[in-house]
Chains A and B, each alone.
Chain A
Amino acid sequence: MEKQLNSNIKEGILSASPVVIGYLPVSIAFGLLAKNTGISFVDTGLFSIIVFAGASQFMALDLISAGVSAGSIILSTFLLNLRHLMMTASLSVKMDNIKKPYLPIIAYGITDETFSVLSFKEGQLSLLYILTVNILSNLSWVLGTIIGFLVGEIIPPALQSSLSIGLYAMFVSLLFPNFKKENKILILSILTAIIYILIFTTKIFTSGWDIVIGIILSSALGVCIFNKDKEVEENE
């Protein structure tokens, strides 16, 4: 039993490590930018502790300096983070073993990055594994924010920009190995990229909706195309 616990924590630490490494430079950049926007140390820390959503925290700084009202910032945050609705819906399929009272704790730690790590882990997820991934990621986000506020200037801009692609590199590294497993994953990913580029360049949907609708459209398209394949195979 204890061995099982330990191995869940160990796997959690392994899975969290790219997120932790990726979060540090981004949260350092956030802390520094928040200070330069004139946000107090306490408020900067509270942003990362209470909101814990990278893109919307940066957006909030932008809107605060543009003098946008709190209500509008909250609405934009809601739209931008609505994609998590789709992500946690997808994760729920892998959480059959989790007792209900723990779900509110898990929900707090679901970001794009923890979602990607958790959803590419094979099989059902254990509570300890999820919490290890979430807590370590959250700690690194908050710690990086504090470091950024206090000493963020010491990181040269060129290093900062290259470090900040780390999280996207992690998304790529989680997704690409799956192309070997099944052709349909490769096809679905390419179709999704095309759909999103169309949505993005035509600007049919406002920011936030573009991601949510892109996810819904392409996943639904996947169900349509590959279900047909299945029927054809069954008929042959």
Chain B
Amino acid sequence: MSKFLPLIIGMGLVTYIPRLIPLIFLSKKELNPKVKQFLEYIPYTSLSILIVRGILTSSQDMMLPTFIGLAAAGLISYFKSNLVLSVLSAILTSFLIINIL
């Protein structure tokens, strides 16, 4: 019935464990201020990396539409903090560019 079950369970475990361990060991702990600051920077640094990586790893014909779509999202979200609006504008922008090119 399930040919890939061992693989899926293995993948599930190695994904789940790194998600769990820091929560168990770090929550409710008094942390050194520098460590705390380090942890508080992670949302900014990891998002920057995910965004840049998304552009760098996109297929060649999607790179420009992705870049311009994300630039639109950046502009709109900077001036107007409406998440759904800027996400939809990015999708629309890239859709238009894919169809023009």
Contact surface of A with B, Cβ cutoff 8 Å: 17-18, 21-22, 39-40, 42-43, 46-47, 50-53, 56, 60, 64, 70-71, 73-75, 77-78, 81-93, 95-96, 98, 100, 103-104, 106-108, 110, 112, 115-116, 119-120, 158-159, 161-163, 165-166, 168-180, 185, 188-189, 192-193, 196-197, 200, 211, 214-215, 218-220, 222-223, 226-227
**Proximity bits, B41-55, A CB within 8 Å = 1, else 0:** 111111111111111
Taking CB as reference atom, which chain B residue is nearest A211?
A: B49
What is the minimal beta-carbon distance from A156 to any residue of chain B, in angstroms?
A: 10
Q: In the complex, which of the residues A70, A84, A174 contacts B7, with contact meaning CB atoms closer than 8 Å?
A: A70
CB neighbours (8 Å) of A176 from chain B are: 73-74, 77-78
The reply to whether B20 and A88 form a contact with Cβ atoms under 8 Å apart is yes
Taking CB as reference atom, which chain B residue is nearest A89?
A: B22
Secondary structure class of chain A's binding surface, majority of residues: helix
The reply to whether A95 and B23 form a contact with Cβ atoms under 8 Å apart is yes
Interface hub of A98, A112, A120, A218 (most chain B Cβ within 10 A): A218
The reply to whether B83 and A81 form a contact with Cβ atoms under 8 Å apart is no
Interface hub of A21, A96, A169 (most chain B Cβ within 10 A): A169
The reply to whether A89 and B77 form a contact with Cβ atoms under 8 Å apart is no
Interface hub of A43, A88, A165 (most chain B Cβ within 10 A): A165
The reply to whether A43 and B73 form a contact with Cβ atoms under 8 Å apart is no
What is the minimal beta-carbon distance from B44 to any residue of chain A, in angstroms?
A: 6
Distance in angstroms between the alpha carbons of A145 and B22 in the assembled complex: 29
Distance in angstroms between the alpha carbons of A21 and B86 in the assembled complex: 13
Distance in angstroms between the alpha carbons of A219 and B39 in the assembled complex: 8
Distance in angstroms between the alpha carbons of A200 and B16 in the assembled complex: 26
Contact surface of B with A, Cβ cutoff 8 Å: 1-12, 14-16, 18-29, 31, 34, 36-56, 62, 65-66, 69-70, 73-74, 76-78, 81, 83-84, 86-87, 89-92, 94-95, 98-99
CB neighbours (8 Å) of A84 from chain B are: 15, 18-19
Distance in angstroms between the alpha carbons of A53 and B53 in the assembled complex: 16
The reply to whether A214 and B78 form a contact with Cβ atoms under 8 Å apart is no
16 A-B pairs besides A84-B15, A100-B27, A168-B54 with CB distance below 8 A are: A43-B4, A43-B5, A47-B4, A75-B14, A89-B42, A103-B27, A158-B98, A161-B62, A162-B65, A168-B50, A169-B90, A175-B47, A185-B44, A192-B45, A196-B53, A226-B37
The reply to whether A93 and B10 form a contact with Cβ atoms under 8 Å apart is no
Distance in angstroms between the alpha carbons of A119 and B47 in the assembled complex: 11
Q: In the complex, which of the residues A64, A108, A197 contacts B16, with contact meaning CB atoms closer than 8 Å?
A: A108
Distance in angstroms between the alpha carbons of A92 and B3 in the assembled complex: 37
Q: In the complex, which of the residues B4, B26, B45, B56 contacts A200, with contact meaning CB atoms closer than 8 Å?
A: B56
| 8 residue pairs A–B, Cβ–Cβ below 8 Å | A46-B8, A108-B19, A165-B54, A166-B87, A168-B55, A168-B70, A189-B44, A223-B34
